[in-house]
A and B are shown apart, each in its own frame.
Chain A
Amino acid sequence: MSNVRLAEIQILEGSRKKGEPLGILFWICVGWIALNVFVAIFANVLPFQNPLNEDFTALNAAPSLHHLFGADDLGRDILARVAYGSRVSISVGIGAMIIGFGVGAPLGMLAAYRRGRFDAILTTVMYVMLAFPAIIATIAVLSFWTPRSLTKIIIVIGVASIPLVYRVIRTATLSVATKDYVVAAKVQGATDRRILMKELLPNIAPIGISFLLIGIATVVTLEGALAFLGLSVTPPTPSWGNMINEARTILQTNPWLVIFPSLALCLFLLCLNFIGDRIRTHFDVTEVKL
C-alpha cells in the first residue's frame, strides 16, 4: 500500500517538471539573439568602424585582420555594416510585429468569440485588405509617404501584417471557442473577459508564438525587398536586406558582401524559430511525458 502510494507520488513529482529540459542549444540561441539585440542597440558605442567610411585601399577586399568580414565595392567595412544593419532589420521585424499582433490578435480573438455581425464586418474588411498583396500595398504607401523614416516603414509593414495576424488568430480562436471547456467555463458563470484571457488565450498562445516568429522572419525579408526597390531606409544607411540586394550585382566578384548579411539574417531567424519551437514543447502540458 505504502509502496503504491510512494510510486504514485514519484510519478506526480516527475510529471510536475514540465517537458524536457530546454537544452544547451536553446541557450546558445537565446545568447545569439541577445548578442544581436545588444549589438543593434550599442552599435555606435562598440568598437566598430564607421559603416559609411569608404576605404579606397580595400575595395571588394576579402576578410582580413583589418576588415574582419571584408569590405564592399566602395571599401566600406562589412562587419560594421552588418552590425549597424541589424538595427534596421531587428527593429522593423519586432516593431512591425508589435503593431500587427497588438491590433490583429485582440481583434481576431474578439471576432471569433463574439461571432455575429461584428465578426462578419471585421472579417470582410480584413479580407479586403488581404486582397492587396502586402508588398504592393506597402510599396504604394511608402512611395507617397515621404520623407521616409524607420518609424514610417515599421508602421506601414505593421499595418499590412494586421489582416494576416487577424486571420491566423481568428481561426485558432474559432477552433478553441467551440470546445466544451469554454462552454463549461461559461455555465460556471465566467465573464467574457475571463473566458478570453484564461480559456482562449493560453490555448492559442502556441500558434500565436509560432506565427509571431515566422512573422518576424517574413518582415525582415520584406524590408530587404523594399530596400531593394529603394523604398526602405535611404542609402547609405545599411540594413541586412539592402546589403544583400546591393551585393547581388557583384556576387561573382565579391561573395563576402552577400555571405555575411545573409548569414546574420539566417542565424537570427533560425535561432528565433528554434527558441519558439523549444518553448512550445517545453511548456506543452496537453500531453503527458513519460
Chain B
Amino acid sequence: MSDEKLLVVKDLKTTFDTANGLLPAVGGVSFDLDRNETLGIVGESGSGKTVLSRTIMGLQPRTKVSVTGSAVIDGFEVVGASENDKRKIWGTEVAMVFQDPMTSLNPVMRIGKQIDEALRVRLGMDKAAAKARAIELLELVGIPSPQERYDAYPGMLSGGMRQRVVIAIALACSPKLLMADEPTTGLDVTIQAQILNLLDELKDRLKMSVILVTHDLGVVATRTSRIVVMYAGRIVETGNTRDVFYHHRMPYTKALLESSPKVSNHSHTRLVTIPGRPPNLLNLPDGCAFAPRCSYATDQCHLVRPELEPSSEPGHTFACWNPLPVNEEGALA
C-alpha cells in the first residue's frame, strides 16, 4: 500500500465542447507522483496546467466537458466518479490551495469557523475539539496569536495571512495530496518565499505530497523533486528538477528558462521572450504545437507530432524531433 504511487495519471484528456468546436485543454497527459514528493507543473498561461490540476481534483464545470483516461488518487479513480463519491476523497485524500487568497475565503465567515467546518462535518469532531484543532492548525501555518485570529474575519488579514489560512483549511483533514494551483501569484515576492517555504516544511512534517502548479520556474527550482513542462495541453518534457534545469532537451523548456529574470544579469538586460503566442487549442497543428515558435523547427516538426521519448537520464523524457544536444557541463543554458 505505502510503496504504491499516490497518484497515477494515464492518458488524461479534458475536452471542452465550445461553440467554436472541441477544445482539447488537456490532450493526453500521463505522469505519476510518489508519496511525500513535490511535483512542479510549469507552462505558460493557457498551457492547460490549471485545467489539468482541476481535472485531477475531479472539478469540472458542470456543462459540456468530456474527460477520458484515468487519474487514480490512492486507489480512487477520479475520472467518471460521481460527485458523492468524490466528496469522500475531497479534503481527506486530496485538498487544494487556490491562486488568489483574496477570493478563496468566505468574506462573511470567521476564519476559525471556516476551518472548523471541515473538521466537524468530515471528521465528526465536537465543537470544542474542532476549535482546539483549528487553533492548532493556525499555529502550524505560522499565524501569530492564533487564539485571537480564530475570531477574525478574512477582511482583517493581509494577503499572506489569508493564504496561510487557506492552507490551514486545506490541511484540516490531513490530505495525502495537496494541489497548489499558483499559490503565490497574488502575493508579494517576499511573502511568496514565505508561503512556499511553509508548504515545503509542511510537506515533510505531515508526510504528504504536493503538486505545485505555476508559470514561474523560480518557484519550482528548489522545492520540487520533479518537473512536468506543459505546452498546449501536453507534456513536452518531464524529469528530475535538476535534469530539466540543466539537461533539458526540448527547446520550449530552454525558452521558458531563458525568459525568467536572473540575478546574474546586468541591470537593464532585456528579458528574452518567446516569439509568437501559444497556439489556438481549437485548431492545433498536426505537428509539434511549439514548431511555429521554435527556432529549431524543421519540416518534420510541422507535419508529425513527436511523442515523449526517454533521454539519457533515468525518468527524463521529452517530446522533440530536434532535441538540444546533451549538455554535459551542466551549465544553465
Contacts and interface: CB of A to CB of B under 8 A. Distances in A.
Nearest to B88: A189
A198 interface: yes
Given A180-B98, A180-B99, A188 B91 contact: yes
Contacts of A202: 106, 108-109
A198 B63 contact: no
B196 interface: no
Nearest to A192: B83
B103 interface: yes
Given A5-B145, A202-B108, A202-B109, A189 B98 contact: no
Interface in B9-39: none
B118 interface: yes
- Nearest 4 A-B pairs (CB), nearest first? A180-B104, A189-B91, A286-B107, A285-B153
A183 B53 CA distance: 14
Given A187-B94, A285-B153, 6 more contacts: A5-B145, A12-B148, A188-B95, A188-B169, A203-B106, A286-B107
Interface of B: 57, 59, 62-63, 87-88, 90-92, 94-96, 98-100, 103-109, 117-118, 121-122, 144-145, 148-149, 151-153, 155-156, 166, 169-170, 172-173
A131 interface: no
B117 A198 contact: yes
Contact of A288 (B90, B103, B156): B156
Interface of A: 5, 8-9, 12, 15-16, 114-116, 179-181, 183-191, 194, 198-199, 202-203, 285-288
Contact of A198 (B109, B155, B156): B109
24 contacts: A8-B144, A12-B149, A12-B152, A115-B62, A115-B63, A116-B62, A181-B103, A181-B104, A181-B107, A184-B96, A187-B95, A188-B117, A188-B172, A189-B91, A189-B118, A189-B122, A189-B173, A190-B118, A198-B117, A199-B106, A203-B106, A203-B108, A285-B107, A286-B107
Nearest to A9: B148
A187 B92 CA distance: 10
B63 A185 contact: no
B117 A183 contact: no
A185 B145 CA distance: 25
Contact of B117 (A12, A15, A190): A190
Contacts of B170: 188
A15 B156 contact: yes
Given A116-B63, A187-B95, A191-B87, A287 B155 contact: yes
Contacts of A116: 62-63
A11 B144 CA distance: 14
Contacts of B117: 185, 188, 190, 194, 198
Given A115-B62, A286-B155, A189 B90 contact: yes
A12 B146 CA distance: 12
Contacts of B100: 180
Given A180-B103, A286-B108, A188 B145 contact: no
Most chain-A CB neighbours within 10 Å: which of B94, B95, B99, B156?
B156
Nearest to A206: B108
Contacts of A179: 103
A8 B145 contact: yes
Contact of A187 (B90, B109, B144): B90
Contacts of A190: 117-118, 121
Contacts of B156: 15, 288
A187 B121 contact: no
Nearest to A287: B155
Nearest to B119: A188
Contacts of B98: 180, 183-184
A289 to B, nearest CB: 9
A15 B145 CA distance: 15
Nearest to B97: A184
A173 to B, nearest CB: 14
B275 to A, nearest CB: 34
Contacts of B87: 189, 191
A5 B109 CA distance: 25
Contacts of A287: 155
A189 B121 CA distance: 8
A183 B173 CA distance: 16
A21 to B, nearest CB: 18
